[in-house]
Amino acid sequence: MKNNCDVIIIGAGIIGCCIAFELSKKGYRTLNIDFQPAAGAGSTSNSCGNVRFYYSTRDGVALAYESAWYWHNWRKYIGVRDDRGLAAYHNTGSIFIKNQAVDWPKVKANFDSLGVKYEDWDLATLQRKIPVADFHSFYPPRRPEDPEFLAPSGSWLEGACYTPESGYVGDPQLATQNVECAARAAGANFKFNRRVTAIRCDSRKVLGVTLDNDEPIDAPVIVNVSGPHSFKITEMAGLSESNNIKTRALRHEVHVVPPPEGYRPEEDGYHTNDADIGAYYRPEAGNMILTGSVDPACDPQDWVDPDNFDNQVSESQWKAQVYRLARRIPALPIPNKPSGIVDLYDVSDDWLPIYDRSDLGGFYQAIGSSGNQFKTAPVVGGMMAELIDKVQNGYDHDASPLQFKLPHLGHTIDMGAFHRNRKINRDSSFSVIG
Ligand SMILES: Cc1cc2nc3c(=O)[nH]c(=O)nc-3n(C[C@H](O)[C@H](O)[C@H](O)COP(=O)(O)OP(=O)(O)OC[C@H]3O[C@@H](n4cnc5c(N)ncnc54)[C@H](O)[C@@H]3O)c2cc1C
């Protein structure tokens, strides 16, 4: 059987498409295969698209801050006309509430060393910028059924860090389709509505995949970018025991509520990360407020089968997230019907991604994105393309992890930080913060 392409990419979410775009620019003939009907229709479609820079590791901050260039220069990055239009970047800036759950000196040290632009806001500035909010501390986050939930707070928050270049992409699927369009223009191919059901290999290396219609497609390189299905593809490749860091699918809810009367989030709102109430929130289309959880300890974790999970908003999680937000914004109107979305994170053991090769020749992995790698996808695309190119040409990444130079910041990332066999990184937040 002849090779049909140089690289099969399993998944056409934002990361899979960015890898296709970057590999195609290097001259590889790529084929993304996805069982969804369109690019970005998997978990990416329900991403909140937040672009913030505070991560708990320096590498995490570096990847996120490098990504700002792409979102601010989306037209330039895409480089071709997409008739569907270009995804808009809402440059609201981001507020990172300081409280005891947050190691601000560590974040500040990383920001300073990487040149991240930020402003230190005291309590008075916070109150002036968001007059609808009550900036008492409500820590620790609780669930509404906890008798202490409405306990009065005796202390005020210290203030916040504000990063003016942050914001959000309101239509993550359109952003993905823009990348698909750019990748096609660079020579990439896509196959939708088809599921990879087998990975064929000999004792050392991959040979190709088989699809759910029994069609075989051969290629010397396969990349697992299957999002919340990543552990299933890892298993299909016979590598479940071989990665030290494992991945699993975690169900996550995001809710949408109207703002208090007189407050216009789309004009006056910011993306905000508020560990004090266990939440993040930002403006949402239609002048609404979108809120998700930053995985506080009181919330149950719902590990699921990505092919069989409840995709309806649950009354109890909606109540938890919306009532917590109402502590911060006391005039928040509480609708009598829950609304929002449910989707899955592909969570790794330490909530940091795996961007690596594998123990099987030609098999690569961009998995474990842990609810926080939408923003970094264009950077990751470049990094993975360089890794694949180098390793296919004989580079021993396991002996000496690739040093990837971030094209716009100029800093170098040690890709060992994203190695499949790293020790669990205790610097991680072990949450969606990364
Ligand atoms: C609710 C939610 C909110 C989020 N908010 C943010 C945020 O604010 N900021 C941020 O940076 N990140 C955020 N994220 C994370 C971010 O969206 C993900 O990290 C990113 O979208 C992952 O992209 P991907 O391409 O790896 O995965 P996906 O988009 O999941 O793509 C994987 C694709 O693989 C396909 N696939 C799987 N198995 C197979 C198979 N056997 N055969 C063929 N195709 C297959 C799937 O159909 C899917 O389309 C959020 C995630 C969620 C779920």
- Inter-residue contact 254 to 344 (CB < 8 Å): no
Q: Which residues pair with 135 in a beta bridge?
A: none
pLDDT value at position 101?
Answer: 87
Give CA–CA dist 429/102, Å, rounded.
Answer: 9
Residue 2 has pLDDT above 80, yes or no: no
Q: Residue 14 Cα, ligand 1 centroid: separation in angstroms?
A: 7
Q: Residue 119 Cα, ligand 1 centroid: separation in angstroms?
A: 32
How, if at all, do strands 89-90 and 159-163 pair?
unpaired
- Inter-residue contact 334 to 307 (CB < 8 Å): no
| Domains along the chain with CATH numbers | 7-85+171-247+350-418 (3.50.50.60), 90-169+251-344 (3.30.9.10)
Q: Residue 42 Cα, ligand 1 centroid: separation in angstroms?
A: 6
Give CA–CA dist 383/317, Å, rounded.
Answer: 37
Residue range 172-177: mean pLDDT, rounded: 98
Q: Residue 172 Cα, ligand 1 centroid: separation in angstroms?
A: 10
Tens digit of each residue's pLDDT (9 = 90 or more) over 269-280: 999 999 999 999
Q: Mutate which of 48, 65, 209, 346 to test ligand 1's pocket (most atoms within 8 Å of Cβ)?
A: 48
Which parts of 100-148 are beta strand (E)?
A: 119-122
Q: Residue 190 Cα, ligand 1 centroid: separation in angstroms?
A: 17
Q: Mutate which of 52, 305, 374 to test ligand 1's pocket (most atoms within 8 Å of Cβ)?
A: 374
Ligand 1, atom 12, lies closest to the CA of 372
pLDDT value at position 1?
Answer: 45
On average, the pLDDT of the chain sits at 97
- Which residues, other chains included, contact 222 with Cβ-Cβ below 8 Å and sequence gap of 6+? 7, 8, 9, 10, 199, 206, 208, 209, 237, 362, 363, 364
Give percent above pLDDT 90 in the chain: 97
Least confident of 100-109, 165-174, 349-358: 100-109
**Closest ligand 1 atom, CA of 40?**
29
Ligand 1, atom 19, lies closest to the CA of 373
Q: Residue 371 Cα, ligand 1 centroid: separation in angstroms?
A: 8
Site residues for ligand 1, CB cut-off 6 Å: 10-16, 33-36, 41-44, 46-50, 195-196, 225-229, 252, 254, 343-345, 369, 371-375
Ligand 1, atom 21, lies closest to the CA of 44
Residue range 223-229: mean pLDDT, rounded: 98
Tens digit of each residue's pLDDT (9 = 90 or more) over 295-331: 999 999 999 999 999 999 999 999 999 999 999 999 9
Q: Residue 227 Cα, ligand 1 centroid: separation in angstroms?
A: 5
Give CA–CA dist 236/294, Å, rounded.
Answer: 31
Ligand 1, atom 2, lies closest to the CA of 47
DSSP code at position 331: T
Tokens representing 165?
């270049």
Q: Tokens 């299957």 map to which residue?
A: 226
DSSP code at position 156: B
pLDDT value at position 4?
Answer: 81
3-class state of residue 366 by DSSP:
strand
**Burial class (CB within 10 angstroms; exposed 0-12, middle 13-18, buried 19+) of 25:** middle
Tens digit of each residue's pLDDT (9 = 90 or more) over 334-379: 999 999 999 999 999 999 999 999 999 999 999 999 999 999 999 9
Q: Residue 88 Cα, ligand 1 centroid: separation in angstroms?
A: 19
Q: Which amino acid is at 154?
A: G
Half-sphere exposure of 235 (CA within 13 A, CB side): 7
